[in-house]
Chain A
């Protein structure tokens, strides 16, 4: 897979400015244009080969003997000897000392030239090993037709930090459930600007956390995230190395990470400005370094005492006026300390009424979460995108949308899911299992939500982890730019809730195939 550079290059202008003792990154002015500097970071556990080339050794021996007889006495000439030794692979799979008798599997790209050239001798299989590390949501969609999976894609992005670029057309299924049933729009003529490579360099991915309706003074010092992506609470709890890695990666890339009260002691104070503290009641607001934290998330599920075994749909029954008063007290206490407050609530039945009720409190946003597979907690679960759109449109109708930031999480595992979630109404997304995949942490069975998911507890070097997550952000950032560039958009904030930019399978199909008789396949 060929990959495009994502890191900015030093230009001549940079050099001139440096010579004049003016820092090209603008450190004198304090301004720094957001970019992500990626660095190749190899996997800590050797990653599985994509393909498994095999050679029938008896067949190969016969073939070589036949070729020797074919060239015969001409082999005294060097060119003929070289032709004899020339192997049917341009990637060097058979370039080891004993050639085809021991194919070098890691070099195989699955091009199948060896099979085309010697179909009775060579064979190539897709290596299923990647699938062993993951759960069903991350696996290949089909063992026959898929050679890549979300898991292998993220592993590669974390390694290289670059956009996957390949030849030939799309190889996947027509459309699937969830994010894969949505395409994003493009424009034939409009570009962000006509400068650079289609104006990509000028696209902003910065988002603001908090109300858009404040006074000028309130809005003049916004809390911003350089990317519309933050690290959600991780299912691997209280892992010091992991927490430190997430903290450093957030700080390095200008975004945020969520942690639980039990995890805050692992975070050096300098990272608190990038931290979103997810609490459930007043007792967690007394930590000595809590003052530096700017954003607090109140976990409503925990705050009203719903345990893992209980149904999240009970949330609205339990949220009586007494409970709401308790939460409002907590909010008022936190607000008096100048914090931004976000309420974390699950996608459940009755979420619209719930949001309307909670929107009267002095808060700055909602974090709406589905499970790790993108399914809501409704009695009849749906994919997150549908409910997210309903929430966004409901808030627009109630004229409260700009008062709140909407964060959403659950089932957002690939770069393309981010702009799609934003089109459906989110301001930012939270990623949960994705950073763990980037860090090569392996799933223990199905990982559906934070309370039940289990991972093998591997240890790794924090700096290695920070580089892997930075690479992930770098690759995603550039892919988001591709999507925005195609639409001619210069600012990701403009994309929020712009549902007209979505091409939705069921809507398109109803229109395009109108008049075509449906049959059961």
Chain B
């Protein structure tokens, strides 16, 4: 074995063993693990679900973080609920149709979530592949992000969304043709209005080649598209995609400004099938700290605002409202749907499932120390592909079990019945 293989063998396996040990609480939990949003309990319970594919024991708080607001202070009102056993869980439907318009191709996913864009370069190819294979297993989707579409992903193209973002890095007609859905990324919740950043250290030769850029030179995606000044310009973008791939659904990913509902309705009239709103507390490979905390509203406020406005405009049932940005657990997903979303995009939780500690070092030097958010040749192989696929798949299996428990307790037979049911929520915030 070469030295790199020896190191991968040594460290990769040890890390996997250690993560399992931590998940089962068989060792001391490091005091530095966790923060307000991703607490120790949320991280460890996600490890547990990724390991076991089961709902964690009640000794772990796997439902809420400690942020003191938003999802962490919302809970379901189960007091009026029907008996847990009166609805058979096998009757409960979790699928979501993404094309709600009368025309066009149907695209149904078998769970109310799909994977968010994480670009090649910001994350390793191994992790991208693991997400794609897990999406195929779960009959849902995942997204390329803005770093291009590596050929290794081609076998899973039916489950992969091609993202067309403002830098147009790696956007090619061939990959647009392969995708069931194309996502226009106008903004990202973690850095709204600031474009994308991939810092120089992560722009390795393969990343630069995929993006037609220069090795080890920082890449900034502009904000917004330099070709879009209005909804009419956006419509021209949609027309371009439709010309390349007439069957693809169109998703428009935007951040959560104060007038987010106006953006949503504009996207609808420009032909979007999906309006994807990404809240201020979402994930990123690198962003100024000031942007993560201070710009644009948290997703908990944006969802009801958009849902209500689309209802008032009479188009709510013709567009799919997808929410993301700080949605961490099965409970967060169902709360987001109760607030008015049709479904949810998940990013960070998938990283946590394969061992992320939410340490925030993704942008630094070689990137993620255990091989998730990295383009480093050695580190990116620390996460074994089949192991990662199983972890992500297991996490979603555990989440599905939780959706069914929640829906059964609320007396609902499908996740779609939960949409906009704010009356089923209680709020304990100040």
Contact = CB atoms under 8 A, between A and B. Distances in A.
Interface of A: 1-2, 4, 51, 79-80, 82-83, 86, 88-91, 109-113, 115-120, 122-126, 141-142, 144-147, 153, 163-176, 180, 183-189, 191, 194, 197-198, 415-416, 420, 479, 482-483, 485-488, 500-501, 503, 505, 508-509, 511-521
Contacts of B425: 516-517
Which of B11, B291, B304 has the most chain A CB atoms closer than 10 A to its own CB?
B291
Given A116-B18, A513-B427, A516-B426, A169 B223 contact: no
10 contacts: A111-B359, A165-B363, A168-B348, A169-B283, A170-B37, A183-B297, A188-B254, A197-B222, A416-B290, A512-B301
Contact of A519 (B33, B223, B287, B426): B426
Interface in B271-289: 280-289
A109 B193 contact: no
B15 A165 contact: no
Given A119-B28, A516-B426, 19 more contacts: A79-B2, A88-B11, A90-B365, A116-B15, A144-B34, A146-B35, A147-B32, A166-B362, A167-B287, A167-B360, A172-B35, A172-B36, A174-B298, A185-B295, A186-B257, A188-B263, A513-B304, A515-B422, A521-B73
Given A119-B27, A171-B37, A513-B422, A482 B291 contact: yes
Contacts of B226: 194
Nearest to B365: A90
B197 interface: yes
Given A124-B32, A173-B69, A83 B286 contact: no
Given A189-B224, A198-B195, A169 B22 contact: no
B237 interface: no
Contacts of A500: 258
A1 B34 contact: no
A482 B2 CA distance: 46
A44 B254 CA distance: 45
Contacts of A488: 193
Contact of B14 (A112, A118, A141, A415): A118
B131 interface: no
B361 A111 contact: yes
B18 A185 contact: no
A1 B422 CA distance: 40
Given A112-B30, A169-B282, A186-B296, A482 B194 contact: yes
A191 B186 CA distance: 13
A169 B295 contact: no
Contacts of B284: 167-169
Contacts of B72: 174
B290 A415 contact: yes
Which of B21, B257, B365, B425 has the most chain A CB atoms closer than 10 A to its own CB?
B257
Which of B22, B304, B325 has the most chain A CB atoms closer than 10 A to its own CB?
B304
Can you list the 8 inter-chain pairs with the closest CB atoms, starting with the nearest? A167-B362, A174-B69, A486-B193, A521-B428, A83-B6, A171-B35, A119-B27, A186-B193
Contacts of B68: 173-176
B188 to A, nearest CB: 10
Contacts, number: 314
B31 A170 contact: no
Given A171-B36, A194-B226, A513-B427, A86 B7 contact: yes
B74 interface: yes
Nearest to A513: B427
Nearest to A54: B30
A516 B427 contact: yes
A139 B357 CA distance: 24
Nearest to A89: B369
Contacts of B363: 2, 165-167
Nearest to A197: B220
A83 B7 contact: yes
A185 B296 CA distance: 5
B316 interface: no
Contacts of A514: 304, 422
A63 B395 CA distance: 32
Contacts of B359: 109-112, 168
A52 B201 CA distance: 26
Contact of A174 (B27, B70, B195): B70
Given A164-B288, A169-B326, A183 B67 contact: no
B255 interface: yes
A483 B297 CA distance: 14
Contacts of B314: none
A86 B379 CA distance: 13
A117 B15 contact: yes
Given A119-B21, A166-B360, A170-B293, A112 B33 contact: yes
B30 A125 contact: yes
Contacts of A187: 193, 257
B370 interface: yes
Contact of B230 (A166, A189, A420, A482): A189
Contact of B287 (A82, A166, A176): A166
B187 A82 contact: no
A120 B28 CA distance: 7
B197 A184 contact: no
Nearest to A148: B289
A520 B199 CA distance: 45
B293 A520 contact: no
A503 B36 contact: no
Contact of A171 (B7, B286, B360): B360
B205 interface: no
B357 A116 contact: yes
